[in-house]
């Protein structure tokens, strides 16, 4: 049976329905998260990855949108555990929590409305090809600027920008889009943060480049620093530096660690997945499944 958390209760998915008049549908004023849970057969356990960080980001973004929800990250994690348990999920899964204005009034505003939270699970599988690597295109669309719709917020309306870039990339024969920001320097993928490797340096656009403050991004920085002793640079990156990189990869909850083997038809180095990318993938995939003791604090076990 499939369930959802809807209007304060865990209900059958068929009962989780909203009106076509719902305000947030019309103006894209819905904030959301994407969380993964990984099943470990040997442990007979389902682990939610970075639950606290995702719910903290959701509530921070909601506050910026004047959505004051009377819930803590701990309470939302506990609701999520309840939902996964009730659904008896014993496989990898994706969790989509979101906060929206449930009011039926047609005004694009954020005041005097009532926020509601809903959560459902989704069978994503692999989002992009993490084993072969992908071909990416630098998009002709620019990332939303922070002074129009901040990328930091993970708000539904901002994803029109992602949809335009992703569609252009797919229709041009590529797997994913890489967006430049309003200043013409590197920001991120349509749903991922981006990293390049040059020598022993791991380089990624800083938070002021019009990016989402990615939770996977921050996990990868920790793994690169602590496990591979790489030097980290968070800074402005020019488009041409992409082509000069030894390795490129994308990170995200859905995309995990996706190697990029060519950009704008230029192979990255020899066009094969790089060694550092492989090492980071290996560490990440073991950590998220609960197989590395020192990263177990990333995980929330679902079954007692
Ligand atoms: N950038 C964008 C635009 C995204 O949608 C996502 C996916 N949430 C990311 C980056 C990666 O963020 P995270 O690692 O927190 O999933």
**Residue 229 and residue 116 share a domain:** no
In a domain, 274, yes or no: yes
**Is residue 106 domain-shared with residue 150, that is, in the same domain?**
no
Q: For residue 296, tell me if it sits in a domain.
A: no
Percentage of the chain lying above the pLDDT 70 cut: 100
Residue 74 and residue 170 in one domain: no
Question: What integer pLDDT is reported at residue 96 of this predicted model?
Answer: 98
Query: Is residue 151 within 8 Å of 208, Cβ to Cβ?
Result: no
| Residues known to be catalytic | 154
Assess whether the C-beta atom of 212 lies below 6 angstroms from ligand 1: yes
- The residue-averaged pLDDT of 256-277 equals 98
How does the average pLDDT of the chain come out, rounded? 97
Each residue's pLDDT tens digit, 104-125: 999 999 999 999 999 999 998 8
Q: Which residue has the tokens 């209760």?
A: 9
Domain-terminating residue out of 91, 122, 153: 122
Question: Rounded to the nearest whole angstrom, what is the distance from the C-alpha of residue 191 to the centroid of ligand 1?
Answer: 5
Verify that 75 and 161 share a domain, yes or no.
Answer: no
Task: Work out how many domains the chain is built from and give that number.
Answer: 2
**Residue whose CB lies within 8 A of the most ligand 1 atoms, among 49, 52, 190, 214, for a mutation test:** 214
One domain for residues 27 and 151:
no
User: Do 152 and 87 have their domain in common?
Assistant: no
Residue 125: per-residue pLDDT: 83
Residues 107 and 142 in one domain: no
Residue 259 lies in a domain: yes
Considering only CA atoms, which residue is closest to atom 9 of ligand 1?
192
Residues 139 and 281 occupy one common structural domain: yes
Domain that holds residue 140: 134-287
Considering the domain architecture, whether residues 88 and 13 belong to the same structural domain is answered as yes
pLDDT digits (tens, 9 = 90+) for 152-209: 999 999 999 999 999 999 999 999 999 999 999 999 999 999 999 999 999 999 999 9
Mean pLDDT of 277-290: 98
List Cα–Cα distances, 303 to 43, 78, 85, 172, in angstroms.
Answer: 10, 12, 7, 45
Distance of alpha carbon 215 from alpha carbon 227, whole angstroms: 18
What is the pLDDT confidence band of residue 130, given thresholds at 50, 70 and 90?
confident
Residues 149 and 118 in one domain: no
Instruction: Categorize the per-residue pLDDT at 59 as very low, low, confident or very high, splitting at 50, 70 and 90.
Output: very high
Provide the pLDDT confidence category of residue 126 given band limits of 50, 70 and 90. confident
The answer to whether residue 219 scores a pLDDT higher than 90 is yes
Q: Which of 95, 122, 149 is the last residue of a domain?
A: 122
Which pLDDT score is estimated for 301?
Answer: 98
Is 208 among the domain residues? yes
Task: Name the token pair of 21.
Answer: 């008049």
- The answer to whether position 302 is within a domain reads no
In a shared domain, residues 118 and 141: no
**Residue where a domain terminates, one of 90, 122, 154:** 122
pLDDT of residue 135: 98
Name the pTM for this structure. Answer: 0.97
Q: Is the CB of 143 under 6 A from ligand 1?
A: no
Residues 100 and 165 in one domain: no
Q: Could you tell me the CATH number of the domain that includes residue 255?
A: 3.20.10.10
């Amino acid at each position: 049976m499939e369930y959802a958390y809807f209007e304060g209760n865990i209900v059958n998915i068929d009962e989780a329905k909203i009106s076509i008049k719902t305000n947030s549908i019309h103006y894209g004023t819905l904030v959301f998260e994407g969380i993964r849970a990984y099943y470990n057969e040997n442990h007979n356990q389902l682990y939610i990855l970075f639950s606290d960080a995702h719910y903290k980001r959701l509530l921070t973004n909601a506050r910026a949108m004047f959505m004051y929800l009377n819930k803590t990250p701990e309470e939302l994690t506990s609701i999520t555990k309840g939902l996964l348990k009730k659904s008896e999920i014993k496989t990898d899964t994706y969790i989509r929590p979101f906060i929206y204005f449930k009011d039926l009034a047609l005004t694009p505003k954020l005041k005097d409305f009532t926020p509601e939270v809903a959560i459902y699970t989704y069978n994503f599988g692999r989002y992009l090809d993490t084993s072969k690597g992908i071909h990416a295109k630098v998009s002709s669309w620019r990332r939303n600027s922070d002074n129009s719709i901040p990328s930091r917020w993970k708000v539904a309306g901002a994803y029109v920008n992602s949809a335009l870039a992703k569609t252009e990339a797919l229709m041009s024969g590529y797997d994913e889009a890489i967006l430049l920001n309003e200043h013409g320097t590197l920001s991120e993928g349509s749903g991922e943060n981006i990293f390049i490797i040059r020598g022993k340096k791991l380089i990624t656009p800083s938070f002021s480049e019009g990016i989402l403050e990615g939770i996977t991004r921050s996990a990868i920085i920790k793994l690169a620093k602590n496990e591979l002793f790489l030097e980290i640079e968070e800074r402005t990156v020019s488009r041409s530096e992409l082509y000069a990189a030894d390795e490129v990869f994308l990170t995200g909850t859905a995309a995990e660690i996706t190697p990029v083997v060519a950009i704008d038809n230029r192979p990255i180095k020899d066009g094969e997945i790089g060694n550092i990318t492989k090492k980071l993938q290996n560490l990440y995939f073991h950590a998220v499944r609960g197989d590395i003791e020192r990263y177990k604090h990333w995980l929330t076990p679902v079954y007692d």
